[in-house]
Structure 1
């Protein structure tokens, strides 16, 4: 796994971190650990951010070129004491694929298709951005009520 995690990571107002992760299934677990270390255990959006980061990383590994041998993704974390933003940038669509991230309605027995529904349910806001090179970023945001 291509990620460095240090328990001594300091959290500060205006936190901005960038982590490059290998495009392997274990990256979802690593992303949860990174979010915990970067936000800190007392951050008000920690558990939602951990869940969403895990879902976004899993989607990138499963549905994009990030999951191909040698693939990678980038996890961005921004936070203040009362806000958090998670972004996952992938390596673009699988060869021949023309899909983009979207909410679906899976069947009752389906084992897949609920990831973005969870993101929508657990984030205050979320969205996607397709870059000119075909790579995509999916983001989620939490902010304190005004």
Structure 2
């Protein structure tokens, strides 16, 4: 089954549905012969899709809620690598991408404010691993959607989403309930 881990030594609070996100069951699919290839993700805005979880596998995923501080990046990397069960090269990619998304959540959202949190979820699905990083939403009333910036070698930073777009097999964003989720998938093969 799945697990929910809360990494918050400062205070305790009851778990809520917001901590792990709801999962809606899908009707069972007929068995297919052989693996079904999934389309490669592009960076076009029209290619964004909702997060779909195959609950038929019995694996509901693992969720970790971390304080929105930069020191937690290493904790998240180790946690995700241990749960993903990917070969070394893919595990390295997963750790790099989850670090980028966590750092972006801390730098560019309310998750980086005192008391802020970031929720990271990992799902081992048939033939792939899906990771979601959810922040507490943008500062103020100005909505912001994570996106790939135009390449500018003179600018410092701004390459995180480009790395996700280049290294993940699929990725996307979802804004819901004032929170922003960036997700990516890595194929096992």
What range describes the TM-score normalised by the shorter chain of this pair?
0.7 to 0.9
CA distance in 1, matches of 2:147, 2:172: 9
Q: 2:170 aligns with which of 108, 120, 125?
A: 125
Following superposition, the deviation at residue 43 of structure 1 comes to 6.3
Structure exhibiting the larger radius of gyration computed from Cα positions: 2
Answer yes or no: is 1:75 the counterpart of 2:120. yes
**Structure 1 Cα separation of the partners of residues 89 and 139 of structure 2:** 36
**Are positions 1:35 and 2:80 aligned together?**
yes
TM-score, scaled relative to structure 2: 0.64
**1:138 aligns to what?**
182
CA pair 112-97 structure 1, distance change in 2 beyond 3 A: farther
4+ residue segments displaced more than 3 Å: 40-44
Contact 1:45–1:83 under 8 Å retained in 2: no
Contact 2:86 2:188 in 1 (8 A): no
Paired residues in the alignment total 135
Matches within 5 A, 1:1-146: 3=7, 14=59, 16-40=61-85, 42=87, 45-80=90-125, 82-131=127-176, 133-144=177-188
* Structure 2 unmatched ranges of 5 or more: 1-5, 9-57
* SS of equivalent to 1:107: coil
Q: Counterparts of 2:171 and 2:181 in 1: how far apart (Å)?
A: 11
**Counterparts of 2:115 and 2:89 in 1: how far apart (Å)?**
35
Offset of residue 106 of structure 1 = 4.2
Task: Using the TM superposition, name which of 135-144 and 56-65 deviates more.
Answer: 135-144
2:127 and 2:184 mapped to 1: Cα distance?
14
After superposition, the CA RMSD in angstroms is 2.3
When normalised by structure 1's length, the TM-score is 0.81
CA drift of 1:14 comes to 3.6
